[in-house]
Structure 1
Amino acid sequence: MAMRLGFARRLLSTSSFASQLSAPAATAAATAAAGSDKPAPIPSDTLFVSGLNKRTTTEKLHESFSQFGQVVHAKVVTDRNSGYSKGFGFVKYATIEDAGKGIEGMDAKFLDGWVIFAEYARPRPPPGQAPTQDTFTRRSGY
């Protein structure tokens, strides 16, 4: 289910598809695709950024998000063998307010030619604790 929602969100955010819809219709379609079964995100000073180009660097990520507040740390997660981006990363802001501005400014925007998505990062479960059902469904793709 989460995979389908992500696909619908990406489809609606692409410029060619979104330009065919009027703004109110696009908003209504995005709201319907998101569904109401997803809990509201818990605000955090750290953002999870997905949809990154494999050539996006940590420096480029830091530079792009620093327009919206004081970035304490940015990290693009890379593949050990190739050194290229795995397609996601994290941005830590000084305050939660700056993180909110970062989401507003960069969510569904282009970075290095790709549409990226920014959302509040979910905290990791403590070591030894079983992952939640939501974590399982996101990792398995069901």
Structure 2
Amino acid sequence: MALRLGIARRFLSTSIFDSHLPASRATAAAAAAAASDKPAPIPSDTLFVSGLNKRTTSEKLREEFSKFGQVVYARVVTDRNNGYSKGFGFVKYSSIEDAAEGIKGLDAKFIDGWVVFAEYAKPPPPRQATSQNTYNSRSGY
């Protein structure tokens, strides 16, 4: 019974029902949602595309994103064993403005029957320096 009550509360607290709340409660709900948002992404000329179909190829990804600007390269990350897509990829545009158009044009749109999501790619984390000694450092040899 408690589980059902919790699910009902969660369902009724969604944004669909916020429009039926008094103005002060709706404003408070919007402020709480805005406070929990992530910081604004840093614009980049490279996009991270997720939600790709397993059969989507790099050529198809390039073709779809080329409609919104000059694509330098498009790469679908694939599984080593079977060669199918892992469900995500990267698209690099010639400019940040073209990348913004690519996000506007294809974020939450269909490619190969699946809804894909496009966002600015985050820069890779800095690599840690490896030690000069490639042999087992614990053994002392």
Residue matched to 1:95: 95
Q: Does 1:125 align with 2:125?
A: yes
Aligned residue for 2:66? 66
Larger Rg: 2
TM-score w.r.t. the length of structure 1 is 0.66
Could you tell me which amino acid in structure 1 is paired with residue 63 of structure 2?
E
- Report what 2:55 is aligned to: 55
Q: Relative contact order (alpha carbons < 8 A, sep ≥ 6): 1 or 2 greater?
A: 1
Q: Distance in 2 between matches of 1:116 and 1:51?
A: 5
State, as a whole percentage, how many aligned pairs show the same letter: 77
From the two aligned structures, give the one with the greater helix fraction. 1
Gaps of 5+ in 2: 1-15, 20-31, 130-141
1:115 counterpart = 2:91 = no
Equivalences, count: 103
CA distance in 2, matches of 1:35, 1:56: 36
Shift in Å at residue 33 of structure 1? 7.0
Aligned position for 2:83: 83
After the TM superposition, which segments of 4 or more aligned residues of structure 1 sit over 4 Å from their partners? 32-35
Match of 2:42 in 1: 42
CA gap of 1:38–1:117, structure 2 versus 1, over 3 A, is: same
Deviations 1:91-123 (A, max 9, x none): 000000000000000000000000000000000
TM-score (norm 2): 0.67
